[in-house]
């Protein structure tokens, strides 16, 4: 897979996974705009040193790169950056939203401003970039957006309420953007990596650190950035293992109007938790269509409306 003649924007490009993504795209011919404010692991400070090092590596490979030390949560900064990239390189094909940071605090110890900042960096930044790139993609017949999600969002973890909430918000955003972009060949997917970076190294055991290197995630990124990318998928990558995450609904139980009370529901709760068969849905519309079909086929008449 090659990206010759294509332009990519990568946020969080100075270190870790963002750095690996930027280098992987550049190695395959893409011009890469590198965005990072150079903050530390908990989102504080600003520096361009690491970002310039990535740009130098790309230039050494014979590629093209530009650097932007901006706040991804600032809409005007993002608008100006995208405008400049398109003015210089003529187009935009790939957006990789990898900027983020970690915060390990209990719910009680988390301030509202910390909650808001997490959502600004993790969620608002993706909204700003997607909105700015969207008309460009529509005009040129397509584009790809890759959003960094997290197993913390899918499965939860104590002490990570803001981070897991923001990442799960991105899950929903990707699902809806994928549906919205279908007609214009805009493909939107998420990449959920497990990798040993400065954000995770304190929490991984030595054996996982050795296996889960950032470069082992890049095959997934390259595929999702390519013309062969799927749409609306959530790709989990860890040390060479690749899998897909999706929201499923168990078969459940159907109670008629007389049976539908809390006591009956409690007695039937084990049936709700049975894992098979599971029902995946492509969209909310798909869910509602299938739900209506199941209700209409119910053995006992149900009241609609």
Q: What is the pLDDT of residue 47?
A: 67
Q: What does the chain come to in residues?
A: 305
Q: Is residue 301 part of a domain?
A: no
Task: Identify whether 1 is part of a domain.
Answer: no
300, exposed or middle or buried, with CB in 10 Å at 0-12, 13-18, 19+? exposed
Range of the domain at 30: 7-244
**Pair 131, 11 in one domain:** yes
Q: What is the DSSP letter of 122?
A: I
Q: Are 211 and 29 in contact (CB under 8 A)?
A: no
Domain check: are 202 and 218 in the same one?
Answer: yes
Structure confidence at residue 296 as a pLDDT band (50, 70, 90): low
**For position 35, which CATH number holds?**
3.40.50.720
Q: Quick one: average pLDDT of 137-158?
A: 92
**Are residues 80 and 207 part of one domain?**
yes
Instruction: Tally Cβ neighbours within 10 Å of residue 164.
Output: 20
Q: Give the E-state strand segments of the chain in sequence order.
A: 7-11, 31-35, 65-68, 94-97, 143-148, 186-194, 234-238, 241-244, 248-250, 278-280
Q: Is residue 2 part of a domain?
A: no
Q: Say if residue 90 is in the same domain as residue 229.
A: yes
Confidence of residue 102 (pLDDT cuts 50, 70, 90): confident
Residue 291 in any domain: the answer is: yes
pLDDT averaged over every residue in the chain? 87
Residue with more model confidence, 216 or 143:
143
Indicate whether 215 pLDDT > 90. Answer: no
Q: Same domain, yes or no, for 145 and 258? A: no
220 within a domain of the structure (yes/no): yes
Total tally of structural domains belonging to the chain = 2
- Is residue 305 in some structural domain? no
Question: In the numeric block, which tokens belong to residue 148?
Answer: 């960094």
- Judge whether residue 210 has pLDDT over 80: no
Are 211 and 262 contained in the same domain? no
**3-state class (DSSP) for residue 45:** coil
pLDDT digits (tens, 9 = 90+) for 218-245: 999 999 999 999 999 999 887 777 889 8
Residue range 49-72, pLDDT digits in tens:
889 999 999 999 999 999 999 999
- How many whole angstroms separate alpha carbon 55 and alpha carbon 192? 25
Which of residues 244, 263, 285 is at a domain's end? 244
Q: Are 189 and 235 in contact (CB under 8 A)?
A: yes
What pTM does this model have? Answer: 0.88
Q: What's the pLDDT tens digit per position in 104-142?
A: 899 999 999 999 999 999 999 999 999 999 999 999 999
C-alpha span between 209 and 80 (Å, rounded): 38
Neighbouring C-beta atoms of residue 153, cutoff 10 Å? 23
pLDDT bucket at 301, cuts 50 / 70 / 90: very low
């Amino acid at each position: 897979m090659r990206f010759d003649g294509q332009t990519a924007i990568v946020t969080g490009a100075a270190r870790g996974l963002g750095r690996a993504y930027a280098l992987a795209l550049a190695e395959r011919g893409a011009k890469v705009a590198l965005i990072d404010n150079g903050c530390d692991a908990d989102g504080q400070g600003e520096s361009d040193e690491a970002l310039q090092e990535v740009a130098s590596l790309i230039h050494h490979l014979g590629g093209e790169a530009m650097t932007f030390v901006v706040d991804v949560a600032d809409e005007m900064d993002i608008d100006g950056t995208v405008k400049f990239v398109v003015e210089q390189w003529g187009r935009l094909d790939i957006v990789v939203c990898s900027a983020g940071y970690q915060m390990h605090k209990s719910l009680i110890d988390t301030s509202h401003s910390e909650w808001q900042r997490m959502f600004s960096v993790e969620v608002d930044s993706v909204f700003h970039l997607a909105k700015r790139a969207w008309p460009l993609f529509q005009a040129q017949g397509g584009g790809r957006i890759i959003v960094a999600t997290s197993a913390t969002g899918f499965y939860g973890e104590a002490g990570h309420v803001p981070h897991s909430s923001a990442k799960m918000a991105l899950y929903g955003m990707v699902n809806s953007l994928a549906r919205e972009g279908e007609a214009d060949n805009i493909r939107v997917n998420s990449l959920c990596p497990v990798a040993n970076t400065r954000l995770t190294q304190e929490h991984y055991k030595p054996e996982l650190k050795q296996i889960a290197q950032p470069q082992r995630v890049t095959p997934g990124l390259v595929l999702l950035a390519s013309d062969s990318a799927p749409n609306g998928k959530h790709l989990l990558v860890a040390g060479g293992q690749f899998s897909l995450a999706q929201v499923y609904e168990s078969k459940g139980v159907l109670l008629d109007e007389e049976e539908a009370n809390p006591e009956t529901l409690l007695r039937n709760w084990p049936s709700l938790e049975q894992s098979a068969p599971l029902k995946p849905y492509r969209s909310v519309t798909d869910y509602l269509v299938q739900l209506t079909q199941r209700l209409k086929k119910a053995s006992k008449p149900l009241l609609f409306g």
